[in-house]
């Protein structure tokens, strides 16, 4: 779990890996005399601390240039690291990528999850054999454009590429971990270990540990480790995921419940917003993210004795061959279908993957617009729905794909409907169909005081609890703003069922404006911001508060800046980011016989591998699913203990106190001097500390609905009217934290298309009036409150916004001029400067000609 990088006389590197306690060591020897090949040797031997010290001493002594001369040691430490990301080669020799800084982000069952904070890239061949290439430095810069310190996660002992359900289901196959052998032989541990029963000859318990292969789709350094995967011991291999990981503590009358959110971004067909749309020929879709929420009682740590629950949902682009032309520099480029697919071949490949991983039913929640003046998003719905109908006619009725189409944007613009109420209804039906995972049987209270909704819950019942079967797949155009809000509402509904199953609440229902929901909303907004930055280039534009119609007035300026940030990112930086992703994932591998990455007119053929094949086997249009999947539905095929799946699982016979399964040692670290105040469980977000009011006599329950003025993170703005009603404007605890200090890419969502207003008299809820609260704190119907003072303020604000619009128009003109007057030469960019006065006069001229059209277009 830590490595020391030691160079030896410029001829070879020694990579020394050790566990946390420095009691077990392994050694890798890397030859530096090979200019373009990777020569690496693993002796597969485990050294104790004394043996490791003697080995390094012999290497140091035997490689001195002059024996006895001071300062001429042949061995010196180069760098210390926490793990290996992988090995990569461009046009010269190989590079070694090491993790040099990390930060703990979550803890699940005693297994720590870390975020990469910094890395180090080391060139392996020495200068005497190095063959230089003029384009090597450029490839290195492109590769390093993938910021590994930005939302890449790893764990030494927990498989992050799989769900909790998959990982815990393995514990019951092929051998039950509760079944142990009693052996009277001495412990197999090293002499520096300690067993109080060893001297007395008492029986030592032996467990069977299971180790599964990672799920390749969500591993981002799989190609970087491919060269050494079959050469080195598995302990050297550390797989990383990309996405989001966050954890908060919910205190229920002093009982800690950890709420964890993990998002796994697919490494297949990965890229940026406008450059990766739809699906490729293998069924992989753009912006595919698997989001898992894990709820567990933190008072018991282990997986076998503790109570753990999880719920999984997926987002991803519409699985069709479609794209958008960004050469026109339009805010909303037209959607075009690139290839006819009358038999839904690419959709079949995609849903086949989902059936194999999640089981049935697959529920599609399509949030794209249905009614538009100019057909745009509707094109996707008109193609997706017939594809689902075509696939369903060959599936058994009980396993058909469910399709829910709902125009969320249209509902948002209307004052007559509540968007979140409709989403709550959809969420309730979805969770009832799929169920959720929990590793505990139902409590007796669920039988004595049954809830009617609990009896209708779907999923699959097992001897040890419940299993989720099927998954919700949510999409809009970009799968950002609307999708994140819909996923939050479904997650909120599932959270209520999870807490009910754990015995924390008496009914599976949660209210807004409680500490529990605020904590969960804050996690989901951080989750949405992060995913939006990765794919779209800016943070979320529309948040849960926007759809609840309680967003503060200051949010409007933030929305405009996020939209501009997204526009700039999509126009100027997405191409470079896409090249970096293609190079990091080894979708493109440099070679002297191929054109350079920056010379390719498009990366279409890199991601559509079968498009250049002369002949390739097509799957049957009627039996479009993989063999064996249908016979196990509704259970996911990947979790069935069949012979094929068991080949991917390794069984190891280990001692009960072996460090590889000792979660106590990993969690408490008795070999380190730690401070109680600095421990992760104390420092993490806490509902009692962050959200609960500090006043005396307040109900400490996190499920109590609180008025805005009672919460610690809420802002109350308003004044009393003539009827002594208070107009309040909430700033809930779920408002996302400020962006991290590291360099960010701004994100954009598809919901910036609010110019497609229907002629129904509705107004945009981006500028919705605030809600009225009665003295009891209950919200009454939404209405606008106008008095003399408010009217004057709004009138003034209209002129203020009008001035801001003119300034932003000038910025857009700068961007247009920047594009049209930019010359690219190698890595350097020269911009023809335009006088500032000319830019502003240009904006004012357009304003004088078409004032209304200008603001509408912006």
Lowest mean pLDDT among 577-586, 599-608, 709-718, 726-735: 726-735
Buried b (16+ CB within 10 A) or exposed e, 214-223: bbebbbbbbb
Of 470, 501, 218, which is closest to residue 358 (Cα–Cα)?
470
Lowest mean pLDDT among 102-116, 393-407, 556-570: 556-570
Sign of the torsion formed by the C-alpha atoms of 176, 179, 180 and 182: negative
With cut-offs at 50, 70 and 90, classify the pLDDT of residue 824: very low
The reported pLDDT for the residue numbered 681 is 84
The reported pLDDT for the residue numbered 778 is 37
- Give DSSP secondary structure letters for 18-75: E-TTS--EEEEEEESS-SSS--EEE--PPB-HHHHHHHHHHHHHHT-SSTT-TT--SB
Altogether, the residues listed in the chain come to a count of: 858
Distance CA 549, CA 544 (A): 9
Distance CA 279, CA 422 (A): 29
pLDDT mean across residues, the chain? 78
The reported pLDDT for the residue numbered 652 is 76
Mean pLDDT of 412-422: 85
With cut-offs at 50, 70 and 90, classify the pLDDT of residue 59: confident
Collapsing DSSP to helix, strand or coil, 158 comes out as coil
Strands (DSSP E) found in 415-455 = 437-438
- Chain centre distance of CA 641: 28
The reported pLDDT for the residue numbered 81 is 94
Highest mean pLDDT among 9-18, 21-30, 849-858: 21-30
- Chain centre distance of CA 816: 33
Whose tokens are 């809009």? That residue is: 476
pLDDT in tens, 266-318: 999 999 988 999 999 999 999 999 999 999 999 998 888 899 999 999 999 99
260 has pLDDT over 90: yes
For the chain, what are the domain ranges? 2-154, 786-858
357 has pLDDT over 90: yes
pLDDT in tens, 10-23: 688 999 999 888 88
Q: In 10 A of CB 577, how many CB atoms?
A: 20
Whose tokens are 């749309």? That residue is: 277
Distance CA 310, CA 440 (A): 12
The reported pLDDT for the residue numbered 737 is 39
* 205 strand-pairing partners: 182
The reported pLDDT for the residue numbered 569 is 58
Contact (Cβ atoms closer than 8 angstroms) between residue 476 and residue 408:
yes
The reported pLDDT for the residue numbered 141 is 95
Mean pLDDT of 180-196: 39
Whose tokens are 């992060």? That residue is: 530
Mean pLDDT of 417-439: 94
Distance CA 827, CA 138 (A): 8
Distance CA 531, CA 242 (A): 10
Burial class (CB in 10 A: 0-12, 13-18, 19+), 846: middle
Distance CA 702, CA 691 (A): 9
790 has pLDDT over 80: no
Of 115, 81, 112, 113, which is closest to residue 97 (Cα–Cα)?
81
Q: Could you give the percent of the chain with pLDDT greater than 90?
A: 46
Report helix angle 136-144 to 574-584, nearest 10: 100
Contact (Cβ atoms closer than 8 angstroms) between residue 363 and residue 487:
no
Distance CA 736, CA 522 (A): 6
Mean pLDDT of 183-191: 37
The reported pLDDT for the residue numbered 565 is 62
Backbone angles phi, psi at 140, to 5 degrees: -65, -40
Contact (Cβ atoms closer than 8 angstroms) between residue 122 and residue 210:
no
199 has pLDDT over 70: no
The reported pLDDT for the residue numbered 664 is 80
- Give DSSP secondary structure letters for 100-128: EEEEEEEEETTEEEEEEEEEEEEE-S-TT
User: CB-hemisphere CA count at 13 Å for 317?
Assistant: 33
Mean pLDDT of 725-737: 33
With cut-offs at 50, 70 and 90, classify the pLDDT of residue 717: very low
Burial class (CB in 10 A: 0-12, 13-18, 19+), 359: buried
Contacts with 680 (C-beta within 8 Å, 6 or more apart), sequence order = 104, 107
724 has pLDDT over 60: no
Mean pLDDT of 56-66: 76
Contacts with 534 (C-beta within 8 Å, 6 or more apart), sequence order = 151, 242, 243, 265, 745, 747
Task: Give the DSSP letter of residue 740.
Answer: P
827 has pLDDT over 50: no
The reported pLDDT for the residue numbered 653 is 77
| Higher pLDDT among residues 673 and 329, named by residue | 673
The reported pLDDT for the residue numbered 475 is 96
Buried b (16+ CB within 10 A) or exposed e, 751-781: bbbbebeeeeebeebbebbbbbbeeeeeeee
| Higher pLDDT among residues 565 and 501, named by residue | 501
Mean pLDDT of 629-639: 93
pTM: 0.80
């Amino acid at each position: 779990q830590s490595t020391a990088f030691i160079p030896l006389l410029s001829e070879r590197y020694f990579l020394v890996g050790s566990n946390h306690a420095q009691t077990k060591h392994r050694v890798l020897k890397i030859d530096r005399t090979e200019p373009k090949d990777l020569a690496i040797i693993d002796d597969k031997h485990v050294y104790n601390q004394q043996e490791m010290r003697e080995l390094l001493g012999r290497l140091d002594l035997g490689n001195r240039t002059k024996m006895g001369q001071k300062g001429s040691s042949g061995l010196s430490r180069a760098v210390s690291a926490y793990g290996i990301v992988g090995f990569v080669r461009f046009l010269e020799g190989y590079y070694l990528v090491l993790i040099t800084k990390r930060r703990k982000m979550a803890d699940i069952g005693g297994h720590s999850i870390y975020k990469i904070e910094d890395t180090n890239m080391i060139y392996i061949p020495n200068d005497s054999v190095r063959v230089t290439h003029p384009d090597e430095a450029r490839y290195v810069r492109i590769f390093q454009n993938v910021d590994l310190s930005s939302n890449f996660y790893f764990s030494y002992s927990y498989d992050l590429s799989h769900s909790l359900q998959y990982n815990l289901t393995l514990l019951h196959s092929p051998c039950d971990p509760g079944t142990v052998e009693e052996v009277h032989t001495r412990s197999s541990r090293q002499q520096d270990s300690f067993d109080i029963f060893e001297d007395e000859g008492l029986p030592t318990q032996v467990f069977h540990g299971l180790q599964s292969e990672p799920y390749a789709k969500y591993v981002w350094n799989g190609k970087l480790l491919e060269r050494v995967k079959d050469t080195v011991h598995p302990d050297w291999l550390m797989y990383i995921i990309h996405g989001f990981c966050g954890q908060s503590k919910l205190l229920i009358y002093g009982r800690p419940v950890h709420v964890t959110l993990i998002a796994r971004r697919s490494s297949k067909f990965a890229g940026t917003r406008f450059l990766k749309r739809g699906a490729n020929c293998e069924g992989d879709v753009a912006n595919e993210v698997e989001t898992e929420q894990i709820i567990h009682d933190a008072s018991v740590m282990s997986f076998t004795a503790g109570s753990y629950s999880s719920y999984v949902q997926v987002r991803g682009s519409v699985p069709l061959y479609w794209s958008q032309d960004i050469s026109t520099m339009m805010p909303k480029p037209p959607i075009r279908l690139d290839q006819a697919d009358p038999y839904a071949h690419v959709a079949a490949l995609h849903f086949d993957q989902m059936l194999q991983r999640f089981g049935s039913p697959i529920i599609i929640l399509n949030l794209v617009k249905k009614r538009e003046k100019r057909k745009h998003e509707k094109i996707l719905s008109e193609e997706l729905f017939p594809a689902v109908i075509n696939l369903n006619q060959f599936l058994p009725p009980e396993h058909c794909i469910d399709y829910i189409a709902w125009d969320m944007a249209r509902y948002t613009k209307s004052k007559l409907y509540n968007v979140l109420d409709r989403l709550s209804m959809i969420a309730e039906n979805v969770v009832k169909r799929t169920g959720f995972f929990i590793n505990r049987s139902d409590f007796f209270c669920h039988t004595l005081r049954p809830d009617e909704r609990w009896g209708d819950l779907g999923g699959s019942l097992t001897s040890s609890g419940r299993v989720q079967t099927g998954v919700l797949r949510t999409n809009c155009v970009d799968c950002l703003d609307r999708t994140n809000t819909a996923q939050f509402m479904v997650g909120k509904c599932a959270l209520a069922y999870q807490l009910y199953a754990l015995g924390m609440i008496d009914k599976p229902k949660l209210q807004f404006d409680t500490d529990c929901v605020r904590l969960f909303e804050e996690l989901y907004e951080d989750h949405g911001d992060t995913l939006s930055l990765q794919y779209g280039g800016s943070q979320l534009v529309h948040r849960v508060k926007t759809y609840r119609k309680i967003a503060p007035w200051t949010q409007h300026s933030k929305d405009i800046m996020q939209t501009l940030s997204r526009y700039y990112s999509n126009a100027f930086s997405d191409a470079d980011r896409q090249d970096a992703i293609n190079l990091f994932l080894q979708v493109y591998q440099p070679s002297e016989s191929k054109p350079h990455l920056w010379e390719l007119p498009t990366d279409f053929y890199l991601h559509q591998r079968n498009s250049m094949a002369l002949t390739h086997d097509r799957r049957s249009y009627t039996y479009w699913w993989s063999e064996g999947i249908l016979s196990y539905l509704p259970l996911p095929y990947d979790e069935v203990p069949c012979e094929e799946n068991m080949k991917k699982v390794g069984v190891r016979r280990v001692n009960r106190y072996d460090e590889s399964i000792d979660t106590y040692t990993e969690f408490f670290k008795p070999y380190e001097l730690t401070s109680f105040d600095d421990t992760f469980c104390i420092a993490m977000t806490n509902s009692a500390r962050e959200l609960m009011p500090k006043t005396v006599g307040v109900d400490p329950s996190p499920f109590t609905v609180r008025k805005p003025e009672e919460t610690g993170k809420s802002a109350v703005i308003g004044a009393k009217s003539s009827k002594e009603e208070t107009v309040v404007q909430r700033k809930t605890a779920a408002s996302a934290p400020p962006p991290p200090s590291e360099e960010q890419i701004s994100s954009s969502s598809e919901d910036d298309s609010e110019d497609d207003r229907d002629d129904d008299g509705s107004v945009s809820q981006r500028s919705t009036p605030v809600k009225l609260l009665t003295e009891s704190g209950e919200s009454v119907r939404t209405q606008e409150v106008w008095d003399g003072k408010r009217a004057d303020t709004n009138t003034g604000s209209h002129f203020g916004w009008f001035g801001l619009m003119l300034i932003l128009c000038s910025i857009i003109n700068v961007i247009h001029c920047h594009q049209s007057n930019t010359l690219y030469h190698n890595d350097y960019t020269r911009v023809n400067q335009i006088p500032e006065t000319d830019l502003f006069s240009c904006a004012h001229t357009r304003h004088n000609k078409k004032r209304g059209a200008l603001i509408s277009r912006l």
